[in-house]
Structure 1
Amino acid sequence: MTISHEPLIAVNAAKANATTKSHEPKAKQLVTDGSMYLPGTDCAVKSQISFATLTSFRVGGPAQWYVSPRNLEELKASFQWANARNLPVTLVGAGSNLLVSDRGLPGLSIGTRNLRYTHFDPETGTVRAAAGQSLARLAWKAAELGWEGMEWAVGIPGTVGGAVVMNAGAHGTSTADILVNTVVLDPKGNVEVLEVADLGYRYRTSELQALAQSAPGRYSDRSVVEATFALKPGADPDRVTANTAEQLEHRRNTQPYHLPSCGSVFRNPEGPHGAGWLVEQTGLKGYQIGAARVAERHANFILNCGGATANDIFQLIYYVQAQVQQRWSVTLEPEVRILGEFPQM
């Protein structure tokens, strides 16, 4: 079985919340729309769910099968269901850093939006959060409690699990700077704890991320269950909240939020200039293919202007890469995870 990881929001899962209600098994295996239940649960595995409803780009074809587990046991059951059918698995968090082909994806796609919980421990100064927890909401919660250290994360779309996998960051701080450890699940259902030193963090990547089929990370077949972060409790909540709001305002003033996008499309290359600067200086702000356009406000964003296809966005990414390579001899590597079959360029 193969597993595909979305850098910012895939690889998300969570332990059962103590407040989660118990779920009685359904007697029937099939439901009326052709979906199936995970064995021993009432968690439905649905068929032909459009990725346009699951990703922030609002594009993409159907998932052959889709399930959204609510706890660790249902997550394990999802892997078992796929294993029994020899299906590939794709883990999807908030879908904020994912471009899926118009043809969709075969196998089982596991959504993790229902896997959420947090626990703040003032004695240790740590917060434990489920991988499906919104990173931005966690940052706000920390600020409201007077905990410093996550202000930078308030404007980052996506989930805790995705942030752990791809080392999300902003304003000179990244996930690796505050992570203590992460709990992961392997495809066989084994749970293990990985310390931050185990994860080989680099700029916007880790050993949890498969950068390419030829270069998988040491743990790229694992899915994140939860993460523990070290923060600084005891600060004035009003001050931390004000600082957090200032960080968010800066992002809103410098990045486009009015149309669907995936955030930053390219990783910043080595050297003095970031990806956005290179794209802008190549004269590509406002360049459009189909209904996909390079944003005028920030050139490292590609926007769905209404009715774009995944192929429109894919072609625009390829075109921008080619133009920057020709002008600056710099190869821009996509930060967005591209999955599925696209036409050869």
Structure 2
Amino acid sequence: MSISQATVDVCNISEVSTNTRKAAKSNLNKNVIYLPGTDCAIKSQVSLSGHTSYRVGGPAEWYVAPRNIEMLQASIEYAKEQQLPVTILGAGSNLLVSDRGLPGLVIGTRHLRYSSLDPDTGLVTVAAGESIPSLAMEVAENGLEGLEWSVGIPGTVGGAVVMNAGAQNGCIADILVSAQILLPDGTLRTFTVEEMGYAYRTSKLQGSKLVVTQATFQLQPGADPAIVTATTKRNKEYRLNTQPYDKPSCGSVFRNPKPYSAGWLIEQSGLKGFQIGKAQVAPRHANFIINCGGASAGDIFSLIHHIQSHVQEHWSIALEPEVKMIGEFLAI
């Protein structure tokens, strides 16, 4: 069992803490800041539209993409020294960022990548920035069962752990052993699955200042790699054939209000194809809102509220968004 990780310069936390106090005012006037002793760059006014699957969103006041845990710790320490609010951004696949952008420091975790798997025990440890679909294919090719359902989820491990991502009657809570969490004070702690407080599409981490850095899953070893890979590929093809992945979206917009599915309620309300600006209820799957090209976050936000009010009127059911909306939006 081995872990591979790209070699990079490591931030020294105590050095960062001391030097940032001295350079606080001058640093914040620069367009690019390098944390002392590293090539870890914090950039100003970075558009977030390229960092979300919706392809919308205004600029981050400051943006950094650390490549290892030490750089992540240093970035959070820097934000603390500068009294900047912090937003953690993975693949941006379950996110709607305001057109006005986000204040403070946005930390992108998609470059935190490494994986370790043991084909004998089925234990798999992966960094928060690893792609869920890529991980599903990797473990399948090694004869490990348990992630076949996840191949169509367009997100990262970190985001999946936080929101208890799921599909086809499977979810993260079913396979998670533990998660390594970065606490607000900069220290790392391992949380067991019992400590995560999992429920349908949520965990105790949502809305907190706790940051997932890696996760360990228990999969089932000993399967025929060809069979597991074939099943995983079939699941991917099914998702591609039934859901609109040809245009930018965030995946499912609303949680399913059991015993109904949100998509069925929206479709039966006559909203398939309904459009506000360049945001549209997908004709292929009504629980998707797609960016038809040039949509704003405001268009999508308005369409979400229109759907909610329409379904409430027709079915007396309040649809709860699964997509996380961050930043300032105009009240509707």
TM, length-normalised to structure 2: 0.92
User: 1:83 Cα shift?
Assistant: 0.4
Output the CA distance in 1 between the equivalents of 2:296 and 2:11.
Answer: 40
1:23–1:175 CA distance, 2 compared to 1 (3 A): closer
- Is the contact made by 1:96 and 1:158 (CA closer than 8 Å) also made in structure 2? yes
* Unaligned 5+ runs, structure 1: 1-15, 211-219
Alignment partner of 1:46 is 2:34: no
Output the CA distance in 2 between the equivalents of 1:192 and 1:48.
Answer: 32
User: 1:18 Cα shift?
Assistant: 4.4
Q: Name the residue aligned to 1:63.
A: 60
CA deviations 1:112-148 (Å, max 9, x no partner) are 1110010002343200000111011000000111111
| Larger helix percent | 2
SS of the equivalent of 2:42 reads strand
RMSD after superposition: 2.0
CA deviations 1:217-252 (Å, max 9, x no partner) are xxx221001000001122111111100011111111
Task: Give the counterpart letter for 2:211 in structure 1.
Answer: S
SS of the equivalent of 2:52 reads coil
Task: Give the counterpart letter for 1:60 in structure 2.
Answer: G
Q: Name the residue aligned to 2:231.
A: 243
Alignment partner of 1:127 is 2:114: no
- Is the contact made by 1:30 and 1:37 (CA closer than 8 Å) also made in structure 2? no
- Is the contact made by 1:37 and 1:45 (CA closer than 8 Å) also made in structure 2? yes
Task: Give the counterpart letter for 1:136 in structure 2.
Answer: P
- Is the contact made by 2:8 and 2:67 (CA closer than 8 Å) also made in structure 1? no
Output the CA distance in 2 between the equivalents of 1:42 and 1:308.
Answer: 35
Output the CA distance in 1 between the equivalents of 2:126 and 2:195.
Answer: 19
Alignment partner of 1:199 is 2:196: yes
Within-5 A mapping of 1:63-142: 63-142=60-139
Q: Name the residue aligned to 2:256.
A: 268
Q: Name the residue aligned to 1:343.
A: 330
Alignment partner of 1:148 is 2:136: no
Output the CA distance in 2 between the equivalents of 1:90 and 1:109.
Answer: 5
Output the CA distance in 1 between the equivalents of 2:263 and 2:136.
Answer: 26
Q: Name the residue aligned to 1:232.
A: 220
Q: Name the residue aligned to 2:290.
A: 303
Q: Structure with the greater relative contact order (CA < 8 A, sep ≥ 6): 1 or 2?
A: 1
Output the CA distance in 1 between the equivalents of 2:36 and 2:108.
Answer: 18
1:314–1:18 CA distance, 2 compared to 1 (3 A): closer
User: 1:34 Cα shift?
Assistant: 1.4
Q: Name the residue aligned to 1:254.
A: 242
SS of the equivalent of 1:143 reads helix
Output the CA distance in 2 between the equivalents of 1:182 and 1:255.
Answer: 30
Output the CA distance in 1 between the equivalents of 2:74 and 2:256.
Answer: 38
Task: Give the counterpart letter for 1:319 in structure 2.
Answer: H
* Unaligned 5+ runs, structure 2: none
Output the CA distance in 1 between the equivalents of 2:156 and 2:41.
Answer: 22
1:230–1:251 CA distance, 2 compared to 1 (3 A): same
Output the CA distance in 2 between the equivalents of 1:73 and 1:24.
Answer: 6
Task: Give the counterpart letter for 1:184 in structure 2.
Answer: I
Structure 1 runs, 4 residues or longer, greater than 2 Å off: 16-19, 21-33
SS of the equivalent of 1:298 reads coil
- Is the contact made by 2:11 and 2:74 (CA closer than 8 Å) also made in structure 1? no
Q: Percent identity?
A: 59
SS of the equivalent of 1:225 reads strand
- Is the contact made by 2:279 and 2:300 (CA closer than 8 Å) also made in structure 1? yes
SS of the equivalent of 1:334 reads coil
User: 1:273 Cα shift?
Assistant: 1.0
Q: Name the residue aligned to 2:169.
A: 172
SS of the equivalent of 2:151 reads helix
